Chains A and B, each alone.
Chain A
Amino acid sequence: MNTAINKYYYGDIPDGAGDNNSEKKSSTAESAWPLWEVFIRSKQGLDHKHAGSLHAADAEMAMENARDVYTRRQEGISLWVVESKYIHASNPDDAEMFYEPASDKVYRHPTFYDLPDELKHM
């Protein structure tokens, strides 16, 4: 599909518009710091929740960067960081096959059971 988008928004200036002649340089030659995922427990008693990701050379730096990037306003009391490559994700294309079997097991839900109104505390 080839769609011409020629209306430019804030933060959306097309590649062709304006050019300049600084010479090309590259930092890709340096090897890159790996990507980490950050999870934050916002307060005692709650689960850790995914907050975002960042780059760091090692776990210690990932932890410090996570503190600076994601908890500048006391957003958390506990942090987990894990290198992104260790996360295995389900495939959205398989979602139907993967989750479908659960949808015909309505008896897993309490509302499936028709019980007399007189029955209390259940």
Chain B
Amino acid sequence: MSIHDLEKAFQDKIDKEIKIEPKDWMPEAYRKTNLRQISQHAHSEIVGMLPEGNWISRAPSLKRKAILIAKVQDEAGHGLYLYSAAETLGTSREQMVDDLLSGKAKYSSIFNYPTLTWADMGAVGWLVDGAAILNQVMLCRTSYGPYARAMVRICKEESFHQRQGFETLLVLSKGTKEQRDMCQEAINRWWWPSLMMFGPKDSESTNSDQSMKWKIKRKTNDELRQNFIDMIAEQIKLLGMTLPDPDLKWNEERKHYDFGEINWEEFWNVVKGNGPCNKQRLAARNKAHDEGAWVRAAALAYAEKRKNKLNNKAA
């Protein structure tokens, strides 16, 4: 078959909603796009543990501490599912880890913002996990099989993340004046960065959208962002708090909420490495990796030794 025929057969499969599996023929650009997206997603889960890990030792009660640990542990699991999915595209775990640690690979910019108070744990769960869930629910139907399966597993675990976040804020919203202020301030801090999680506006794209055609992605950035805003603008009423956007208003004609302009300069600035915590996050990952080196080496040496023992016995 010529390349052209192969590409046609490939697109036919996608159009018929047949999943692509690791050993199937795929265009090089499809492989690369998936590899980049899945590995960035994996890195986001791993780095995403840091802002919340920041509060584990200072959680206000044993219950909240246990919940937070469970959530952070889930995020580690999500990273591992995704690294495995990325490995099926022909890269190694070590390569991906190296790229993260050297700063070559990207991860979601949202994790370059600091978590200043306990209320941030609530806002992160509700808004950041909430935004991630919309994206991930869509990705459960992505065309690459291993990615889709990892997403199904992840989505099952995510809803607890968002619910515990909202509940944390709900408790604060019924508390003292200080607690209510803390709640509102955390929402103010996380609202705009959460909207940026969906990526640039659709109009910023000039070329035809290959990711949609390949069904890697099934909704546009703006569609997902609008879904998110419509959802949160209603949910916040239950908290008796406000979203920090004077232009946020229900549009009866569109049947959607209108909203104000996002600060894209800030978005690109954080992507480029100049966010409030970019350096800190990478330093923390590097430190953990370096300090774990002896554990990895010891485990390997131990496995090697046991294998030799077994072989000697057999001989």
Q: Verify that A and B bind, or say they do not.
A: yes
Note all chain A residues with C-beta closer than 8 A to B37.
9, 11-12
A33 surroundings in chain B (CB, below 8 A): 296, 299-300
Is there a chain A Cβ closer than 8 Å to B268's Cβ? yes
What residues on A are CB-neighbors of B92 within 8 Å?
A: 28, 32
State which size class the interface on B falls in: 35 or more
A3 touching B29 by the CB < 8 A rule? Answer: yes
Specify the chain B residue showing the minimal Cβ separation from A11: B41
Q: Decide yes or no: A92 and B23 within 8 Å by CB, A7-B209, A52-B150 being known contacts.
A: yes
Q: What A residues does B89 contact at CB under 8 A?
A: none
User: Bound complex: CA of A72 vs CA of B24, how far in Å?
Assistant: 32
- Main secondary structure, interface of B, reads helix
Indicate if B244 sits at the interface (CB-CB under 8 A): no
Instruction: Determine how close the nearest CB of chain B comes to the CB of A84; give it in whole angstroms.
Output: 10
Q: In A1-36, which residues have CB < 8 Å from any B CB?
A: 1-15, 17-28, 30-33, 35
Chain B residues contacting A5 (CB-CB under 8 Å) are: 29, 33, 207, 209-211
**Residue among B131, B207, B273, B303 facing the most chain A CB atoms (10 A cut-off):** B303
**B174-211 vs A: 1/0 string, CB under 8 Å?**
00000000000000000000000111101011110111
Given contacts A27-B289, A92-B23, contact A69 B80 (CB under 8 A): yes
A58 to B307, CA, bound (A): 9
The distance in angstroms between the C-alpha atoms of A9 and B198, with both chains bound, is 6
CA distance A22 to B307 in the complex (A): 39
| A55 within 8 Å of B (CB atoms) | yes
CB < 8 Å neighbour of A20 from B84, B273, B300: B273
- The residue that A15 contacts in the complex, of B27, B36, B70, with Cβ under 8 A, is B36
A-B CB pair tally, cutoff 8 Å: 157
Whether B271 lies near A17 (C-beta < 8 A) is yes
Is the beta-carbon distance between B81 and A52 smaller than 8 angstroms?
Answer: yes
Most buried by A among B84, B198, B206: B84
A-contact bits for B35-53, CB 8 A (1 contact / 0 none): 0111011001000000000
Interchain CB contact under 8 A, A11 and B206:
no
Partner of A27 from the list B28, B29, B97, B268 (CB cut-off 8 Å) is B97
User: Is the CB of A54 closer than 8 A to any CB of chain B?
Assistant: yes
Indicate which residue in B29, B38, B95, B303 contacts A2 across the interface (CB closer than 8 Å).
B29
Q: Is A77 an interface position by the 8 A CB rule? A: no
**Docked pose: A88 CA to B28 CA in angstroms:** 24
Q: Are A7 and B200 in contact (CB under 8 A)?
A: yes
List A contacts of B135 (CB < 8 A).
Answer: 9-11
CB within 8 Å of B: which of A44-85?
52-55, 57-58, 61, 68-69, 72-73
Binary contact track B97-113/A, C-beta < 8 Å → 1, others 0: 11001111010110000
Partner of B103, one of A7, A20, A27, A32: A20
Chain A residue at smallest Cβ distance from B282: A22
Decide if A11 touches B44 in the complex (CB within 8 Å).
yes
Q: B23 → chain A, closest Cβ, in Å?
A: 5
B159: min CB distance to chain A, Å: 12
Q: Is A91 an interface residue (CB 8 A)?
A: yes
- Interface, chain A (partner B; CB < 8 A): 1-15, 17-28, 30-33, 35, 52-55, 57-58, 61, 68-69, 72-73, 89, 91-93
Sample of 13 A–B contacts (CB below 8 Å) = A1-B28, A5-B210, A7-B200, A7-B209, A9-B199, A11-B37, A13-B109, A23-B102, A27-B98, A53-B87, A57-B302, A58-B299, A58-B307
Which 5 A/B pairs are nearest by Cβ-Cβ distance?
Answer: A18-B272, A7-B205, A58-B303, A57-B299, A11-B41
